[in-house]
């Protein structure tokens, strides 16, 4: 279980950068010499150094002149195959070859075509022992956003809503009425810092006038996405403020005005969910939370274009209202969040 232990440590390190490295994967690296960790690192921010050079740097800074000898006698653990191509940074596989590490243990092979086995091949050709596939399923689930974007050419799609105990999603007359409690709201704001974007429809943007920011949790705001076919949302509404980049999908125009980006999509009444998913893929948006309204959520459900659903159920009951979307997926877990119950579903059918 030694390899598994260190790969788990890689995941712990990598998780520190959630929300900050997209569209790259989250990666951690641990360097071990004689059963002792002598260096660690993780990919902290998109465009900056990857996990492997940060781990090697930590060894050099700690041990100075001894570092080169120690590295040659060490094993590097990394939850994703070291890259083999020049991107914003040099190939990490070349770095391990340069320092002549004895062994490299890997969680997942990288599905990106520029890597996909090429990093492993470079290491082996240099005489470095390579073991891969350690905690493969766990590592894949950890980087599910990255794997989805590369393999399915679309972002990882999370559906999120709150419903009453008797299955109502919103009021019939459209006025705003909170369903979930304060803790659920704070958790939802944490989620916003972890994903690239958040999507709502025109009616939600008009009736609720949401800010779609992470006001109650430290971290970045997601890109705000709004479906507004005929540009009917008043520009006095919160989505037009300067708090975050905002993309308006519409049939009228393509334009940029400060942080507001208008993207024209033809025939929005046909295959809208698919068109938006592919547009986001082209923009390197790796994950998106779809928050409503019910019509938009149902479009993603009906086209089976979702990966995960997070549903808050309140103990409150209403006499009437808009029925909640119907979910058909695998119930992964249920968690009590204050007075609300959170149910997390995975789509095992797409």
Q: Which residues are catalytic?
A: 52
Does 29 belong to an annotated binding site? no
Q: Report the DSSP beta bridge partners of residue 262.
A: 248, 255
Q: Say how many Å lie between the first and final Cα of the chain, rounded.
A: 33
Q: How far apart are CA 247 and CA 261, in angstroms?
A: 5
- The runs of H, that is alpha helices, within the chain are 2-15, 51-63, 67-72, 92-98, 118-125, 136-142, 144-152, 182-194, 202-207, 272-282, 294-302
Does 139 belong to an annotated binding site? no
Does 178 belong to an annotated binding site? yes
Does 215 belong to an annotated binding site? yes
Q: What is the three-class DSSP state of 68? A: helix
Residue 27 near residue 78, CB atoms below 8 Å: yes
Does 3 belong to an annotated binding site? no
Is residue 343 packed enough to be buried (19+ CB in 10 Å), middle (13-18) or exposed (0-12)? middle
Does 162 belong to an annotated binding site? yes
Q: Quick check: bond before 23 cis, omega within 30?
A: yes
Does 99 belong to an annotated binding site? no
Does 70 belong to an annotated binding site? no
Q: How far apart are CA 274 and CA 55, in angstroms?
A: 40
Does 50 belong to an annotated binding site? yes
Residues belonging to the binding site for Zn(2+) are 50, 83, 92
Provide the annotated binding site for substrate.
192, 212, 215, 291
* Residue positions forming the annotated binding site for NADP(+): 162, 178, 204, 208
> Residue positions in the annotated binding site?
50, 83, 92, 162, 178, 192, 204, 208, 212, 215, 291
């Amino acid at each position: 279980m030694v390899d598994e232990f260190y790969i788990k440590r890689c995941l712990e390190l990598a998780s520190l950068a959630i929300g900050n490295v997209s569209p790259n994967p989250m990666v951690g690296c641990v360097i071990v010499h004689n059963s002792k960790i002598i260096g660690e690192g993780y990919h902290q921010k998109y465009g900056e150094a990857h996990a492997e050079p940060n781990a090697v740097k930590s060894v050099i800074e700690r041990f100075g002149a001894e570092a080169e000898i120690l590295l040659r006698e060490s094993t590097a653990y990394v939850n994703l195959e070291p890259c083999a191509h020049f991107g914003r940074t040099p190939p990490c596989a070349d770095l391990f070859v340069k320092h002549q590490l004895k062994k490299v243990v890997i969680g997942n092979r990288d599905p990106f075509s520029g890597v996909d086995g090429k990093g492993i091949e470079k290491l082996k050709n240099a005489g470095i022992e390579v073991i891969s596939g350690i905690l493969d399923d766990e590592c894949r689930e950890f980087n599910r956003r990255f794997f989805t974007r590369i393999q399915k050419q679309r972002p990882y799609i999370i559906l999120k809503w709150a419903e009453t105990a008797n299955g109502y999603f919103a009021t019939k007359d459209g006025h705003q009425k909170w369903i979930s409690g304060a803790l659920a709201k704070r958790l939802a704001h944490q989620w916003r810092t972890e994903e690239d974007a958040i999507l709502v429809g025109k009616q939600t943007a008009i009736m609720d006038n949401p800010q779609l920011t992470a006001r109650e949790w430290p971290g970045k705001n997601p890109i705000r996405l709004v479906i507004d076919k005929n540009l009917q949302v008043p520009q006095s509404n919160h989505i037009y403020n300067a708090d975050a980049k905002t993309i308006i999908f519409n049939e009228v125009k393509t334009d940029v005005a400060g942080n507001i980006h208008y993207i024209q999509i033809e025939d929005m009444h046909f295959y809208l969910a698919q068109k938006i998913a592919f547009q986001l893929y082209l923009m390197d948006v790796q994950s998106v939370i779809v928050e409503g309204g019910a019509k938009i959520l149902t479009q993603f459900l009906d086209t089976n274009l979702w990966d995960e659903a997070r549903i808050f159920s309140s103990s409150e009951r209403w006499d009437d209202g808009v029925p909640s979307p119907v979910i058909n997926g695998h119930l992964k877990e249920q968690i009590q969040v204050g007075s609300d119950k959170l149910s997390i579903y995975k789509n095992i059918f797409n």
